[in-house]
Amino acid sequence: MELEKEKYLRGFMIMMFIMILEKLMVMVMLRDQYLVEKNYLILEGVEPVDQEVKKDPLSETRSTFVYVPRDEAFSEVKSLTFSGNTVYSVLHAVVPALESVVTDPNLGFPHFPAIDSLFNVGVDLPGLGDKKSGLFNVVPRLIKAISDTRKDVLLFESPQLVQRDKFSWFRDVEFARQTLAGLNPYSIRLVTEWPLRSKLDPKVYGPPESEITKELIEKEIGNYMTVEQAVQQKKLFILDYHDLLLPYVNKVNELKGSVLYGSRTIFFLTPEGTLKPLAIELTRPPVDDKPQWKEVYSPNDWNATGAWLWKLAKAHVLSHDSGYHQLVSHWLRTHCCTEPYILASNRQLSAMHPIYRLLHPHFRYTMEINALAREALINANGIIESSFFPGKYAVELSSIAYGAEWRFDQEALPQNLISRGLAVEDPNEPHGLKLTIEDYPFANDGLVLWDILKQWVTNYVNHYYPQTNLIESDKELQAWWSEIKNVGHGDKRDEPWWPELKTPNDLIGIVTTIVWVTSGHHAAVNFGQYSYAGYFPNRPTVARSKMPTEDPTAEEWEWFMNKPEEALLRCFPSQIQATKVMTILDVLSNHSPDEEYIGEKIEPYWAEDPVINAAFEVFSGKLKELEGIIDARNNDSKLNNRNGAGVMPYELLKPYSEPGVTGKGVPYSISI
């Protein structure tokens, strides 16, 4: 009895010692990370700020610090050369400096030359030219020309879009083209039913029927065909932010400086393979004692009033698309939904497991960059909340979209295209898919990259799992997939669309989807941000004024009729919103000098195995071929969505890039 008691006490003491040791290790790691950040800021000349928000001594205190395990943090080279500390410094040095200069947060741009001046005159920032201030070094690319007499000027680089064609953003053909070859190619969908109808409760949101009529559509397409024929022949497409946004309209409209509608935008596929916008419908649900309001706008070149209303309606739709891109296509579907894969891999797979080794390069630095985003980008009153249309409802909207739209099986590119009606299965086509829009640059290049990734994963998986029974007998692998489904995405654990993991083909599909999301998907929605949105009239992040036709007073309508250009400028983001977003988009679009591109360098543990080494050589060679394929497509004059006078070539899925803001390059992982 005494012996058993002694063993129990000894075991208890050992357990307590281990618990204390673990806590001490966590404290040391937290201290080390804090000191690294603090010392970096001091070296850069930026005064470090205590992250803890101090309140009343008796009240709760909170910290904005997000812990990141040491093995997930940026490497020393990456920290010193670029990435996290650059973002951190921009957010904690440049943004506050801008806010101190632009003292009125609601001040808009008085005229379009004032917007142009951001690129040829600059913004006066006191202390910018002083290297001790910390501002000079954190945004070297933005400061493209500082003369001896003007050392305190922040001068933005002209984005590639306006370098090629300064007025492209004004044209409907470019508005439509960017749904296929722009920053958010994930939203355009095929119209499969007519008439359009909301699925929301009409008792709450008003009549569900759309006011985009058959007559209006047929008029806009010049009686080329009936609406029924257009739907049957797959000629009508839609950007549909109606049902997702309508529940937020009244809440957002209570916020200062943001006006929201539910929106639908209809496009027609022309014989030239381009999209032509036909109509925009904006809807406000019932509010107070007012009934539902909705109105349809169409391109109106023969009537000045209609033409300006169309431009204002486009500004609203573009703000919807910008917010959806940032919160759903980008943040949710890449950054957020990759975290469960990372956690499950570290918890359930040993570092020597072949699938861990395959996925590890695709997970580097993601937890670190996500922690930084939670501290200063998507946090309360951060860049997103202060500069994008949902305001304080931004993360809530992202969560609602996750519940309503996210499916693991449809994160695979082929299934995603099929789900949106942009492709159908066809074994006679090169990638097993026939695209509904043949000249769809994102899909054209993406499917080539998808096949290259899948072939690499197939060769790798088949080498380590030559027999089917090895999949189900691998306990680590089964625990990994179970945690992803049941813990990481626990609220969707019972969905019928989760793939099974019983065969090598199952594993190939799962892993290819994960590596596509971290590489191709993220590259397509991230590295073109400054190129497309750096000139904010092309992609405004918020609409600050209501449509002139929504319950106007006599004075409001007269003002619009006399000053339509000023009405558009007032609708655009304010000066501080625009410059803050431009600054951060420049940094987020940047490739660091030590960027790790897919297939560029072989991992040491891959090189150890001759079979995997040979498979990697094939993988790398195919990626180099893709570079040439994309160049050839961009030079093909028959492809109007990526070639033409002043048209930006589509290069977002070119595998390799030099450092900087290039609008191309596909890294392994989500590291910015």
Pairwise CA distance, residues 662 & 664, whole Å: 5
* 3-class DSSP assignment, residue 597: strand
Summarised one tens digit per residue, pLDDT across range 453-501 is: 999 999 999 999 999 999 999 999 999 999 999 999 999 999 999 999 9
Q: In what order do the strands lie in the sheet with 262-269?
A: 189-190, 236-241, 262-269, 275-284, 293-297
- At residue 4 the predicted structure's pLDDT band, cuts being 50, 70 and 90, is low
- The per-residue pLDDT for 104 is 81
Residue 63 vs residue 26, higher pLDDT: 63
Amino acid at position 364, single letter: R
- The per-residue pLDDT for 13 is 55
154 and 139 Cβ atoms separated by less than 8 Å: yes
Pairwise CA distance, residues 16 & 404, whole Å: 45
562 is catalytic: no
230 alpha carbon, distance to own chain's centre = 31
Q: Which among 92, 316, 330, 489 is annotated as catalytic?
A: 330
Summarised one tens digit per residue, pLDDT across range 410-423 is: 999 999 999 999 99
Across-strand partners of 424? 434
- At residue 50 the predicted structure's pLDDT band, cuts being 50, 70 and 90, is very low
Cis peptide bond N-terminal to 195, omega within 30: yes
536 and 583 Cβ atoms separated by less than 8 Å: no
Pairwise CA distance, residues 623 & 644, whole Å: 26
Amino acid at position 264, single letter: R
- At residue 39 the predicted structure's pLDDT band, cuts being 50, 70 and 90, is very low
Cα angle 304, 307, 308 (rounded to 5 degrees) comes to 90
For 22-74, what is the HEC assignment?
HHHHHHHHHHHHHHHHHHHHHHHCCCCCCCEECCCCCCCCEECCCCCCHHHCC
Pairwise CA distance, residues 350 & 477, whole Å: 10
572 and 538 Cβ atoms separated by less than 8 Å: no
Share above pLDDT 90 across residues of the chain, in percent, rounded to a whole number: 74
The whole-number average pLDDT for the span 227-256 is 97
Q: Which of 193, 195, 221 is nearest to 421 (CA)?
A: 193
Pairwise CA distance, residues 552 & 566, whole Å: 16
Pairwise CA distance, residues 61 & 55, whole Å: 7
330 is catalytic: yes
Q: Roughly what angle, to the nearest 10 degrees, separates helices 337-348 and 475-483?
A: 150
Q: Which among 416, 444, 526, 641 is annotated as catalytic?
A: 526
- The per-residue pLDDT for 82 is 45
- The per-residue pLDDT for 597 is 97
Pairwise CA distance, residues 511 & 465, whole Å: 14
Q: Roughly what angle, to the nearest 10 degrees, separates helices 554-562 and 564-571?
A: 100
Q: Which residue has the tokens 């005159």?
A: 121
- The per-residue pLDDT for 130 is 54
**Whole-number Cα distances in Å, 395 to 371, 375, 447, 484:** 15, 13, 31, 22
pTM (2 d.p.) = 0.88
Q: Which among 242, 325, 522, 591 is annotated as catalytic?
A: 522
The whole-number average pLDDT for the span 319-330 is 98
335 is catalytic: yes
Q: Which of 301, 314, 328 is nearest to 416 (CA)?
A: 328
Count the Cβ atoms, other than its own, within 10 Å of residue 150. Answer: 14
Summarised one tens digit per residue, pLDDT across range 176-218 is: 999 999 999 999 999 999 999 999 999 999 999 999 999 999 9
- pLDDT higher than 80, residue 30: no
The whole-number average pLDDT for the span 135-139 is 48
Q: Which among 325, 335, 362, 521 is annotated as catalytic?
A: 335
Q: Which two tokens stand for residue 48?
A: 């470090």
**DSSP assignment letter at 124:** E
522 is catalytic: yes
362 is catalytic: no
- pLDDT higher than 80, residue 443: yes
Cα distance between the two ends of the chain = 60
Q: Which among 217, 266, 355, 672 is annotated as catalytic?
A: 672
